[in-house]
A and B are shown apart, each in its own frame.
Chain A
Amino acid sequence: QTVVTQEPSFSVSPGGTVTITCSLTSASVSNIHYPGWYQQTPGQPPRTLIYTTSVRSSGVSDRFSGSILGNKAALTITGAQADDESTYFCVLYLGSGIYVFGTGTKVTVL
């Protein structure tokens, strides 16, 4: 079974920068996996932030950016704000119509 791993948690100061990564146990992540990033707060469905590695969804702040860093997908939040405090999930396309979500990273702003 394919596992997609993220850092369990990060703490960032207001105004600071944090980078969350998304890795595959069995291969390098690249653009062929069309990485997507989603933000979720308790009791709510995920909200789309980034798709196809680096494209921001409509209405998403440019403080959120997606990229490939080495062999991982990455989500960078710059100028962290209190309402960025959420859990962030990546999703990867494995081909043949199959997707897998990451384990999630809880970001605390304090």
Chain B
Amino acid sequence: QGQLQESGPGLVKPSETLSLTCSVSGASVTIPSFFWNWVRQPAGKGPEWIGRVYYTGNTNYNPSLKSRVSISLDSSRNELSLKLTSVTAADTAVYFCVREVAAITSLFDSWGQGTVVTVSS
């Protein structure tokens, strides 16, 4: 089964851009079998789906975040990345990268351990 590992700064200042990377092993991000998602979870709350990218580069985003978010793939590194601009305290959360089986809607079959991001000056 695939393994995913998130990395990036644990502290981001308000109004700046949050940038995270997810290193993927056990599967190539360039094959059509999977979508690659980002999901976040504020402390004590339910998960929030942020968006996903397909091997073609096609993306889908949460409408509430669409104006601030960008998800992309780096095939040379077998990684996906997340950029979220103009962050506020409301963006403080654990951020997960998640693999979704492309042929089976709603099957998120592999999750990273998550990385904590705090937005604070």
Asked if B108 contacts A48 (CB within 8 A), the reply is yes
Digit string of A21-52 for contact with B (CB within 8 Å is 1, else 0)?
A: 00000000000001110100000011110011
Interface flag for A61 (CB, 8 Å): no
| Complex alpha-carbon distance, A47 and B110, angstroms | 8
Given A45-B96, A89-B46, A89-B47, are A98 and B108 also a contact pair (CB < 8 Å)?
no
Of chain B, the residue at the smallest CB distance from A92 is B106
Among A1, A35, A46, A97, the residue within 8 A (CB) of B47 is A46
Asked if A45 contacts B111 (CB within 8 A), the reply is yes
Of chain A, the residue at the smallest CB distance from B105 is A34
Asked if A45 contacts B107 (CB within 8 A), the reply is no
| Complex alpha-carbon distance, A98 and B112, angstroms | 20
Asked if B63 contacts A98 (CB within 8 A), the reply is yes
Digit string of A71-105 for contact with B (CB within 8 Å is 1, else 0)?
A: 00000000000000000010111001111111110
Digit string of A44-70 for contact with B (CB within 8 Å is 1, else 0)?
A: 011110011000010000000000000
Interface flag for B16 (CB, 8 Å): no
Among B62, B63, B64, B111, the residue within 8 A (CB) of A46 is B111
Asked if B105 contacts A93 (CB within 8 A), the reply is yes
Instruction: List the B side residues contacting A57 at CB < 8 Å.
Output: 107, 109
Given A96-B60, A98-B62, are A48 and B46 also a contact pair (CB < 8 Å)?
no
Given A45-B112, A98-B60, A98-B62, are A52 and B105 also a contact pair (CB < 8 Å)?
yes
Q: List 28 A-B contacts (CB under 8 A).
A: A1-B63, A35-B106, A36-B108, A38-B47, A45-B112, A46-B47, A46-B108, A48-B108, A51-B105, A51-B106, A52-B104, A52-B105, A89-B46, A89-B47, A91-B47, A93-B106, A97-B52, A97-B60, A98-B49, A98-B62, A98-B63, A99-B49, A100-B49, A101-B39, A101-B47, A101-B49, A103-B46, A104-B46
Q: Which residues of A contact B (CB under 8 A)?
A: 1, 34-36, 38, 45-48, 51-52, 57, 89, 91-93, 96-104
